């Protein structure tokens, strides 16, 4: 009982860090609201380190994900013949006065999926690995395309998430 309460407090702290980190990543990258890709970038910075470990287990470098986001935008622009210009590598940050109040639909989907996951598994704290698992399950959207752009195999990620979470049980 006490352990459950302790985990719940820990989860609240993690969610707070995850959301503020996603917000920050969105603003740094010139977006007003965070999407799933920003939640993944934020998960890489969580102190538990599990999101980074999952990527490394799957043979991917988490530091490549940021560039992969830009690459999938450029690939998409190239597909319609816009190849002379590309997305800025260093876009002007959004100077928002707002704290987190909303997310893009993909960001909202991440939060909903995390909530559902935690309802099913109350024995371990919310981890960055959970976020990786949720984002890797997405079939479409910026995050999914970025993962494909960096050649990440979804089955490897899913397996690595499972192994990482099992080590916490």
The mark string for 25-44 relative to another protein (x by CB under 8 A, - otherwise) is -----xxx------------
Question: Which among 6, 14, 66 is positioned nearest to 40, based on CA atoms?
Answer: 66
Q: Which is nearer to another protein, 76 or 117 (CB)?
A: 76
Q: Return the number of the residue (79 or 155) whose C-beta is nearest another protein.
A: 79
Our CB check for another protein shows the closer of 97 and 119 to be 97
Q: Which of residues 50-79 bind another protein (CB under 8 A)?
A: 72-77, 79
Size of interface with another protein, in residues (CB under 8 A) = 27
User: Which among 59-67, 94-102, 109-117, 128-136 is the span making contact with another protein, rule CB under 8 A?
Assistant: 94-102
Nearest-angstrom CA–CA distance, 11 and 149: 31
Q: Which is nearer to another protein, 98 or 162 (CB)?
A: 98
Residues in touch with another protein (CB under 8 A): 30-32, 72-77, 79-82, 84-85, 87-88, 91-92, 94-98, 140, 142, 145
């Amino acid at each position: 009982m006490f352990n459950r309460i302790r985990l719940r407090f820990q989860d609240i702290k993690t969610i707070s860090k995850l959301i503020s980190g996603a917000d920050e990543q969105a603003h740094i990258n010139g977006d007003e609201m965070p999407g799933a890709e920003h939640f993944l970038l934020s998960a890489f910075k969580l102190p538990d380190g599990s999101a980074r470990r999952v990527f490394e287990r799957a043979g991917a470098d988490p530091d490549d994900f940021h560039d992969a986001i830009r690459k999938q935008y450029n690939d998409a622009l190239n597909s319609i013949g816009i190849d002379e210009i590309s997305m800025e590598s260093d876009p002007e940050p959004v100077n928002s006065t707002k704290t987190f109040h909303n997310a893009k639909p993909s960001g909202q989907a991440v939060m909903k999926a995390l909530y559902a996951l935690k309802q099913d598994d109350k024995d371990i704290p919310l981890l960055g690995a959970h976020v990786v698992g949720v984002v890797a399950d997405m079939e479409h959207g910026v995050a999914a395309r970025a993962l494909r752009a960096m050649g990440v195999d979804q089955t490897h990620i899913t397996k690595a998430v499972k192994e990482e979470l099992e080590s916490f049980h």
